[in-house]
Amino acid sequence: MRGPHNLWRLIRTGATFERTGAMKVALEAMEAPPRLRALARVLGWPFKWLGYAGDPALPPITRAITALGPAYIKFGQVLSTRPDVVGVELSNQLRVLQDKLPPFPRDVAIRVVEAELGRPLSDILSEFSEPVAAASIAQVHRARTAATGEEVAVKVLRPGIERAFRRDIDAFHFAAGLIELMSPASRRLRPSDVISHFEGVVMGELDLRLECSSASEFADKTARDSGFQVPKPHWALSSRRVMTLGWAEGIPLGDVEAIRAAGHDCTALAERVLQLFLSHALRDGFFHADMHQGNLKVAANGDLIAYDFGIMGQIDEYTRRVYAEILIGFIRKDYRRVAEVHFEAGYVPADRDIDEFARALRAVGEPIFGMDASQISMARLLSYLFEVTERFGMQTRTELILLQRTMVVVEGVARSLDPHINIWQVARPVVEAYIRENVGPQAVVRDMLRTARVLGRFGPRLPGLVENLLSERARPQSPGGPSAFGQMTAPFLAGIVVALAAFGIASLF
Q: Alpha-carbon distance 129 to 112, whole Å?
A: 15
The amino acid at residue 483 is S
Q: Alpha-carbon distance 50 to 338, whole Å?
A: 49
CB 164 within 8 A of CB 153: no
Closest to 316 measured CA to CA, from 390, 438, 217, 399: 399
Question: Which helix (H) or strand (E) covers residue 138, if one does?
Answer: strand 138-145
The one catalytic residue in 290, 303, 351, 353 is: 290
Closest to 421 measured CA to CA, from 408, 431, 411: 411
User: 62: which residues sit within 8 A by CB, 6+ positions away?
Assistant: 76, 93, 94, 96, 97
Question: What is the DSSP secondary-structure string of 189-207?
Answer: G-HHHHHHHHHHHHHHHT-
Length of the chain: 509
Mark whether 168 is an active-site residue: no
Q: Where are the alpha helices (DSSP H) in 241-294?
A: 256-261, 266-279
Q: Alpha-carbon distance 296 to 264, whole Å?
A: 15
Question: What is the DSSP secondary-structure string of 65-95?
Answer: HHHH-HHHHHHHHHHTT-HHHH-HHHHHHHT
Instruction: Identify the three-state secondary structure at position 1.
Output: coil
Closest to 267 measured CA to CA, from 412, 420, 378, 375: 420
CB 208 within 8 A of CB 155: yes
The maximal CA–CA distance of the chain, rounded, in angstroms, is 83
Closest to 75 measured CA to CA, from 201, 204, 208: 201
Q: Alpha-carbon distance 348 to 326, whole Å?
A: 13
The amino acid at residue 333 is K
Q: Alpha-carbon distance 387 to 392, whole Å?
A: 9
Q: Where are the alpha helices (DSSP H) in 102-247?
A: 106-117, 121-124, 161-182, 191-205, 208-221
The amino acid at residue 304 is L
CB environment 463-488: b (16+ within 10 A), e (fewer): eeeeeebeebeeeeeeeeeeeeebee
Catalytic residues: 290
